[in-house]
């Protein structure tokens, strides 16, 4: 069925099982959505129990009763449209049965449409009567409404009308005629068998059965159905009657005239439903196409993200659909409540990394991590004591620790997976790690590729069976083990060096995750590599770990003109403390088609409590380049590498690159992004004009508080320019370059090699070495004291850069510090 906002209440009726009928909270789910797992306060440590319902006033009950009745009216209208669509071909099929080439025989037509006209008539009478009760103004002659106005306020008029609105007799009459459904239910399997058999043997019938169109509804939209799906509608509808009556009874005040009549209707409906369940199990064993049965393929906890918030939920992947449910407790018995479902046929997936939350929310996350750290320390102290008298204290600490973990799982930004159905419905889920994202994505794509369209699922039965079928009992929580000597506790250093094996050029990065307690950040990634087939990073990632056992590596590529990053491959490494204890362990990992080289080192030490201050990225503009490089643990700052790589990806043929200035607004936006959120900055680089990228790089060097080539070297470099012998001059210039601080020297070399690659395309971009030296010289080199003759100063700045660009034996730049060879073990 096509997605329509007015269907919301119809879905609510599918959220309980028959055993839940006497204590359902259906209408509360319409107005509020609370999670029973954990409170919304990150600092609350007491067990989080469902809140006790408050007593409602009669007026509130009557208003909610009206909401239920209007939902019934809407769903009846939809159901009647579906029955009319199902009956539409009946007359033509009967007529064709007497011809030489019938689609169905007369007996088959009678079997397929058995009792359906009677069901249509029953619900049409009920709908007409209920509509007249709920919308009397539309049914009255306009002139008869005169004289009905009173001096009551609108609220008083509404409450007065609701109190005198009686529908119990309609429902009582309707329930007494439910026996019509008994014949349909007994005949259902025979009807489905005929439809499936004729679809396989007759192309004409298959075309009819796969594309039955409804008439235009009130929203002027036609809906496409299959024959099997429409045959299933009455079977699904009859199960809802008892649930609707229960909600009406719940929200009807005891002194209302309808109260006793609705209670009797509920009793009759429940009795009919019990009889149906005892006589027939066909509804619970509906076969999918090709004789298959619905099976659970995977399940696990996720975070359901919606417009106004997010909640912890349980996701179930079946052979033909995804079902999201909420775990609740009725007494001591756990059960699931339906949230939403999506068919797998035609399901589209799109994943993304979430942005950092607001500083205020980061404070909540930091405080919760600090709370977890304190609870774990207290728990370890109690556990070491081993006294029976402290067992209650241990249990209480474990509960509080689990509550904090669940809150972090639910609220910490991670990776999202957008699910888009062909019907127009969409849902977004958040996975707890990149590994979870990949596994769910692969499982859904594999199953949807093998799936064909089936009848709509019996959501009532499927949801109620989840409690028995589930394979995952709890969210992925860590546990304090009695023997933690084999677990890592300290600093884990991961040096991601290079990769090979890419078939096509791309920009790539490696995402690294560790497991263990989430006191500290467990996920980091390298910067984006240059656009090539053999990316190189030489980037060190440092993790504070507690209880880590495994390391996850994911290789992600960004191809030209692709908006979606592609996950190329992943690998999981078991962390062996003996092999990497205080020494580098070189490892080569196969991540799909790509081989990644990295080195790992583990340094054990007691961990400091996590900081409660929000994680704020340090700015990079107007900051000494050595300080920026130290913060990033590199020799060439990320901003320089990112801008250079983006220019080489799409700007080498741009005429006037580095000479033509980009838009000031774009340059300032990039500057702000690099100062506050590096990931956002890299994303912006790909979308702005390439001249804005080159302008940002020039602005970075121009705003350095100390020039890239220290001012103390200005006079020495000027003197070297005066050396007549070109070989001695070049040797002197290189000696002065090698004497620069490590970060300054390698950043300058990295930039010089890039500018030479730009000049190689001078026929296209019109930027020679001389032009590039003129652009960059004044930004990279400045004297201690400005000279009176500015032209002479500029000449030295330009000539120094020009001579370096002309050097034949210019050394290569190091992006990060080399590992100590004596400390490296292969």
Residue 499 near residue 506, CB atoms below 8 Å: no
- Give the pLDDT confidence score for residue 625 in this predicted structure: 95
- Give the pLDDT confidence score for residue 379 in this predicted structure: 81
Of all residues in the chain, the percent with pLDDT exceeding 90 is 30
Residues 6 or more apart whose CB falls under 8 angstroms from that of 128 comprise none
pLDDT of residue 647 exceeding 90, the answer is yes
CA dihedral 714, 719, 721, 727 (to 10 degrees): -120
Claim to verify: residue 427 and residue 568 sit in the same structural domain: no
Across 354-372, average pLDDT: 80
pLDDT of residue 123 exceeding 80, the answer is yes
Residue 517 near residue 547, CB atoms below 8 Å: yes
Please indicate, yes or no, if residue 819 is contained in any of the structural domains. Answer: no
Claim to verify: residue 458 and residue 573 sit in the same structural domain: no
Closest to 361 (Cα-Cα) out of 37, 615, 618, 33: 615
Q: How many domains does the chain have?
A: 4
| CATH number reported for the structural domain that contains residue 74 in this entry | 1.20.900.10
In terms of pTM, does the model score above 0.75?
A: no
Claim to verify: residue 198 and residue 92 sit in the same structural domain: yes
Please indicate, yes or no, if residue 185 is contained in any of the structural domains. Answer: yes
| Distance in angstroms (rounded) separating the CA atoms of residues 92 and 571 | 60
- Give the pLDDT confidence score for residue 26 in this predicted structure: 32
| CATH number reported for the structural domain that contains residue 309 in this entry | 2.30.29.30
Domain that holds residue 656: 625-806
Please indicate, yes or no, if residue 789 is contained in any of the structural domains. Answer: yes
State whether residue 279 is helix, strand or coil. helix
Of 43-57, 176-190, 495-509, 674-688, give the range with the top mean pLDDT: 495-509
pLDDT of residue 104 exceeding 80, the answer is yes
CA dihedral 562, 564, 568, 573 (to 10 degrees): 150
Claim to verify: residue 452 and residue 513 sit in the same structural domain: no
Claim to verify: residue 123 and residue 177 sit in the same structural domain: yes
Claim to verify: residue 645 and residue 747 sit in the same structural domain: yes
Claim to verify: residue 575 and residue 551 sit in the same structural domain: yes
pLDDT of residue 288 exceeding 60, the answer is no
Claim to verify: residue 680 and residue 748 sit in the same structural domain: yes
- Give the pLDDT confidence score for residue 6 in this predicted structure: 32
Claim to verify: residue 325 and residue 238 sit in the same structural domain: no
pLDDT of residue 5 exceeding 50, the answer is no
- Give the pLDDT confidence score for residue 32 in this predicted structure: 32
| Distance in angstroms (rounded) separating the CA atoms of residues 73 and 540 | 63
- Give the CA radius of gyration of the chain: 35
Claim to verify: residue 640 and residue 576 sit in the same structural domain: no
pLDDT of residue 710 exceeding 80, the answer is yes
Q: Tens digit of pLDDT for each residue in 340-356?
A: 999 998 899 998 887 66
Of all residues in the chain, the percent with pLDDT exceeding 70 is 80
Across 505-520, average pLDDT: 86
Half-sphere exposure of 117 (CA within 13 A, CB side): 9
Q: Name the maximum alpha-carbon separation found in the chain.
A: 112
Across 94-111, average pLDDT: 84
| Distance in angstroms (rounded) separating the CA atoms of residues 286 and 330 | 28
| CATH number reported for the structural domain that contains residue 674 in this entry | 1.10.555.10
| CATH number reported for the structural domain that contains residue 503 in this entry | 2.60.40.150
| Distance in angstroms (rounded) separating the CA atoms of residues 63 and 72 | 14
Claim to verify: residue 587 and residue 654 sit in the same structural domain: no
- Give the pLDDT confidence score for residue 220 in this predicted structure: 59
Q: Tens digit of pLDDT for each residue in 12-48?
A: 333 333 333 333 333 333 333 333 333 333 333 333 3
Claim to verify: residue 300 and residue 273 sit in the same structural domain: no
**Domain stop point among 231, 264, 282:** 282
Q: Tens digit of pLDDT for each residue in 553-586?
A: 999 988 766 667 888 999 999 888 877 888 889 9
> What is the rounded average pLDDT for all residues in the chain?
80
pLDDT of residue 139 exceeding 90, the answer is no
- Give the pLDDT confidence score for residue 393 in this predicted structure: 80
pLDDT of residue 188 exceeding 50, the answer is yes
- Give the pLDDT confidence score for residue 290 in this predicted structure: 46
């Amino acid at each position: 069925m096509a997605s329509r906002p007015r269907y919301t209440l119809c879905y609510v009726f599918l959220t309980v099982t028959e055993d839940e009928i006497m204590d359902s909270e259906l209408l509360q789910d319409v107005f509020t959505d609370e999670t029973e797992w954990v409170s919304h306060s990150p600092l609350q440590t007491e067990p989080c129990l469902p809140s006790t319902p408050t007593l409602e006033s009669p007026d509130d009950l009557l208003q909610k009763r009206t909401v239920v009745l209007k939902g019934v009216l809407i769903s009846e209208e939809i159901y009647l449209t579906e029955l009319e669509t199902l009956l539409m071909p009946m007359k033509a099929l009967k007529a064709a049965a007497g011809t030489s080439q019938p689609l169905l025989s007369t007996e088959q037509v009678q079997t397929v449409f058995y009792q359906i006209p009677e069901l249509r008539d029953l619900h049409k009478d009920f709908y007409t009567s209920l509509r007249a009760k709920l919308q009397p103004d539309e049914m009255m002659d306009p002139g008869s409404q005169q004289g009905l106005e009173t001096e009551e306020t609108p609220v008083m008029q509404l409450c007065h009308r609701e109190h005198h609105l009686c529908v119990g007799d309609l429902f009582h009459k309707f329930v007494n005629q439910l026996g019509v459904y008994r014949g349909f239910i007994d005949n259902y399997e025979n009807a489905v068998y005929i439809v499936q058999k004729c679809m396989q043997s007759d192309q004409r019938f298959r075309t009819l059965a796969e594309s039955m169109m409804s008439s235009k509804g009130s929203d002027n939209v036609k809906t496409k159905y299959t024959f099997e799906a429409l045959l299933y509608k009455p079977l699904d509808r009859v199960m809802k009657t008892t649930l609707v009556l229960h909600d009406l009874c719940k929200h009807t005040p005891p002194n209302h005239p309808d109260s006793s009549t609705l209670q009797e209707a509920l009793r009759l409906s429940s009795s009919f439903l019990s009889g149906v369940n005892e006589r027939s199990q066909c509804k619970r064993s509906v076969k999918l196409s090709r004789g298959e049965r619905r099976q659970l393929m995977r399940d696990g906890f996720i975070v359901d993200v919606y417009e106004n918030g997010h909640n912890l939920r349980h996701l179930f992947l079946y052979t033909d659909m995804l079902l999201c449910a909420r775990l609740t407790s009725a007494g001591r018995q756990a059960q699931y409540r339906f949230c939403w479902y999506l068919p797998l046929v035609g399901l589209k997936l799109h994943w993304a990394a979430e942005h950092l939350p607001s500083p205020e929310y980061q404070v909540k996350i930091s405080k919760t991590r600090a709370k977890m750290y304190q609870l774990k320390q207290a728990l370890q102290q109690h556990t070491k004591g081993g006294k029976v008298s402290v067992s209650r204290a241990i249990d209480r600490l474990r509960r509080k620790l689990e509550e904090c973990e669940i809150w972090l799982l639910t609220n910490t930004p991670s990776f999202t997976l957008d699910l888009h159905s062909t019907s127009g419905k969409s849902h977004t889920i958040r996975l707890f790690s990149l590994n979870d994202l990949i596994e769910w994505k692969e499982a859904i794509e594999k199953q949807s590729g093998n799936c064909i369209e089936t009848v709509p699922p019996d959501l009532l039965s499927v949801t109620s069976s989840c409690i028995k079928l589930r394979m995952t009992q709890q969210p992925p929580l860590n546990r304090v083990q009695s023997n933690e000597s084999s677990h890592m506790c300290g600093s884990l250093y991961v040096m991601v060096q290079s990769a090979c094996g890419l078939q096509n050029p791309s920009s790539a990065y490696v995402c690294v995750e560790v497991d263990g307690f989430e006191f500290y950040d467990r996920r980091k990634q390298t910067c984006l590599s240059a656009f090539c087939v053999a990316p190189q990073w030489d980037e060190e990632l440092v993790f504070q770990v507690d209880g880590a056992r495994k390391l996850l590596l994911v290789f992600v590529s960004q191809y030209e003109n692709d908006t979606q990053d592609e996950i190329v491959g992943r690998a999981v490494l078991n962390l062996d403390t003996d092999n990497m204890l205080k020494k580098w362990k070189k490892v080569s990992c196969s991540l799909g088609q790509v081989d990644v080289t990295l080195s790992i080192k583990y340094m054990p030490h007691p961990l400091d409590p996590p900081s409660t201050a929000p994680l704020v990225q340090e700015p990079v503009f107007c900051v000494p380049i050595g300080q920026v490089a130290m913060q990033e643990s590199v020799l060439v700052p990320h901003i320089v590498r990112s801008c250079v790589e983006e220019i080489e990806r799409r700007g080498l043929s741009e005429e006037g690159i580095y000479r033509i200035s980009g838009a000031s607004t774009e340059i300032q936006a990039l500057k702000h992004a690099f100062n506050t959120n590096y990931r956002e900055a890299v994303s912006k680089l790909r979308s702005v004009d390439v001249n804005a990228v080159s302008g940002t790089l020039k602005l970075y060097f121009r705003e350095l508080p100390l020039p890239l080539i220290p001012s103390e070297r200005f006079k020495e470099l000027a003197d070297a320019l005066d050396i007549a012998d070109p070989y001695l001059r070049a040797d002197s210039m290189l000696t002065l370059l090698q004497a620069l601080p490590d970060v300054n020297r390698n950043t300058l070399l990295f930039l010089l090699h890039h500018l030479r690659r730009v000049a190689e395309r001078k026929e296209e971009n019109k930027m020679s070495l001389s032009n590039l030296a003129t652009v960059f010289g004044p930004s990279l080199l400045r004297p201690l004291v400005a000279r009176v003759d500015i032209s002479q100063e500029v000449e030295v700045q330009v000539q120094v850069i020009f001579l370096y660009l002309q050097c034949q034996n210019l050394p290569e730049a190091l992006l990060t510090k080399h590992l100590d060879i004596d400390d490296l073990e292969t």
